[in-house]
């Protein structure tokens, strides 16, 4: 008989607990303790293992107590008083076990995401002309309001305006606990159905915008040699219609030679600041590129779930006349689009997280 999801989970946690013991033994070695850099690396790894191993050990204690209580209840010649006490404790132990197990499931599937508190989020206008630019602006404002509600820090790395006050594109750095956990699902094509501000006949139009999301871990497991791996181009920044916004050559374009990934930044008047921003964005994009290659086989469910920011992948439709928001990946429709656009995205995000949790547990 194949293993159940719970059996797979407990087996994996047992392995993690054993790794924790082995690492603690290793760190007790005087030779390791004398190597400062190695000790720091191992301490960080131990912290990650403890995040799962400690609650697993608490669960094991509850499982042992449950087994002992059931044994007392079914013991033919046992003490009646002990049997009665065990029967009284059994419901509480069962409830504790299920609560601890569910909490552990949550930790297992979100451990990597929880460690990422910074991300790059890019919104770009797609098909639909001026209306697409206005929709891109609306998506940016939706994310901004959501971040304000969560207390996240938002930094605009680059932006390009369009006619009628819309946005051709905007690139944000979002930082805060749970940022990736909440916003990592937003990558893909977003479609809007509404009557544009420019529509005199009151007809509903469809236009689109795309969103790409890249994790910005504190320690990127990738090194970029900015002199050898990247080609840099410097030019004067341009405003709307090609108008020069300053007289110095401050606009920066970076090309990662191996992957062909490019970043262009002209938001700041300072060449130094634009270069720093461009490097942050390029580093995250390169990291994301190689991470997807490494995890594609083992993490295909998550990759499909989140989406890759591909313009062809429509993940969500915003229908304003019906006040409807539909996420096509999970088949969830909410008739509260007005609240969602004001940043109240929690119900939508909760549904995505629940679905993602189920997918990941099946893939253990």
The terminus-to-terminus CA distance of the chain in angstroms comes to 17
Confidence category of residue 294, pLDDT binned at 50, 70, 90? low
- Note whether residue 221 is domain-resident: no
What CATH number is given to the structural domain containing 33? 1.20.58
C-alpha gyration radius of the chain: 26
Chain centroid to Cα 167, Å, comes to 24
Q: Over the stretch 226-274, which tens digit does the pLDDT of each residue have? A: 988 999 998 876 654 444 444 557 889 999 999 999 999 887 778 888 9
109, 15: one domain: yes
Condensed to tens digits (0 to 9), the pLDDT of residues 141-190 reads 999 999 999 999 999 998 998 888 999 999 999 999 889 989 999 999 99
pLDDT of residue 56: 94
In a domain, 63, yes or no: yes
pLDDT of residue 147: 97
The answer on 242 and 261 residing in a single domain is yes
Query: Residue 311 and residue 208: Cα distance in Å, rounded?
Result: 9
Is 336 inside a domain boundary? Answer: yes
Do 38 and 99 sit in the same domain of this protein? Answer: yes
Q: Are 313 and 188 in contact (CB under 8 A)?
A: yes
* pLDDT value at residue 297: 43
pTM of the model: 0.71
Q: Token pair 């594609």 is at which residue?
A: 296
Pair 205, 74 in one domain: no
Specify whether 236 is located in the same domain as 357: no
Same domain flag for 165 and 125: yes
- In-domain check, residue 185: yes
Domain that residue 157 falls in: 114-216+307-362
pLDDT exceeds cutoff 50 at 92:
yes
Assess if residue 223 is contained within a domain: no
Pick from 226, 281, 290, 300: nearest CA to 259: 290
pLDDT of 96 above 50:
yes
In the listed set 113, 134, 160, which residue is the last one of a domain according to the structure? 113
**17-41 residue pLDDT tens:** 999 999 999 888 888 888 888 888 8
Is residue 234 in some structural domain?
A: yes
Question: pLDDT-derived band of residue 299, with 50, 70 and 90 as boundaries?
Answer: very low
**Torsion angle of the four alpha carbons 344, 350, 356, 361, in this order, in degrees rounded to the nearest 10:** 160
Residues 136, 281, single domain; the answer is: no
156 and 71 co-located in one domain: no
Q: Of 48, 80, 113, which residue sits at a domain end?
A: 113
Q: Indicate whether 257 belongs to any domain.
A: yes
Do 83 and 22 share a structural domain? yes
Q: What is the domain-level CATH number for residue 194?
A: 3.30.70.1660
The pLDDT score that the predictor gives to residue 222 is 67
Residues 116 and 216 sit within 8 Å (Cβ to Cβ): yes
Q: Are residues 23 and 160 in the same domain?
A: no
Examine the domain organization and report whether 284 and 335 are in the same domain: no
> What's the structural domain count of the chain?
3
Q: Cα dist. 241→158, 161, 255 in Å?
A: 17, 11, 25
């Amino acid at each position: 008989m194949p293993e159940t999801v719970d059996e797979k989970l407990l087996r994996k946690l047992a392995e993690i607990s054993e790794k924790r013991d082995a690492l603690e033994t290793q760190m007790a070695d005087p030779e390791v303790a004398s190597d400062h850099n190695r000790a720091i690396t191992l301490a960080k790894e131990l912290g990650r293992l403890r995040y799962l191993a400690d609650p697993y050990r608490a669960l094991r204690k509850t499982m042992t107590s449950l087994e002992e209580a059931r044994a007392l209840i079914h013991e033919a010649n046992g003490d009646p008083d002990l049997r009665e006490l065990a029967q009284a404790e059994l419901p509480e132990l069962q409830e504790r076990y299920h609560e601890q197990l569910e909490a552990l499931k949550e930790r297992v599937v979100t451990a990597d995401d929880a460690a990422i508190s910074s991300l790059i989020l890019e919104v770009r206008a797609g098909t639909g002309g001026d209306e697409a630019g206005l929709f891109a602006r609306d998506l940016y404002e939706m994310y901004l309001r959501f971040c304000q509600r969560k207390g996240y820090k938002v930094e605009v790395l680059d932006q390009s305006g369009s006619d009628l006050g819309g946005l051709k594109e905007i690139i944000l750095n979002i930082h805060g606990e749970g940022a990736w956990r909440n916003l990592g699902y937003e990558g893909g094509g977003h479609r809007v159905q509404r009557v544009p501000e420019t529509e005199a006949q009151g007809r509903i139009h469809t236009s689109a915008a795309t969103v790409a999301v890249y994790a910005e871990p504190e320690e990127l497991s990738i090194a970029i040699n900015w002199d050898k791996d990247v080609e840099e181009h410097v030019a004067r920044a341009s405003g709307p219609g090609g108008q020069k916004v300053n007289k110095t050559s401050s606009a920066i374009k970076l090309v990662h030679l191996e992957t062909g990934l490019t970043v262009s930044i002209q938001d700041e008047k300072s060449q130094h600041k634009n270069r720093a921003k461009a490097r942050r964005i390029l580093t995250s994009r390169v990291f994301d590129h190689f991470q997807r290659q490494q995890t594609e086989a083992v993490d295909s469910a998550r990759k499909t779930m989140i989406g890759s920011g591909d313009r062809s992948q429509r993940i969500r439709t915003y229908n304003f006349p019906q006040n409807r928001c539909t996420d096509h990946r999970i088949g969830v429709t909410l008739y509260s689009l007005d609240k969602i656009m004001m940043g109240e995205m929690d119900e939508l995000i909760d549904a995505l997280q629940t679905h993602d949790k189920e997918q990941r547990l099946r893939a253990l």
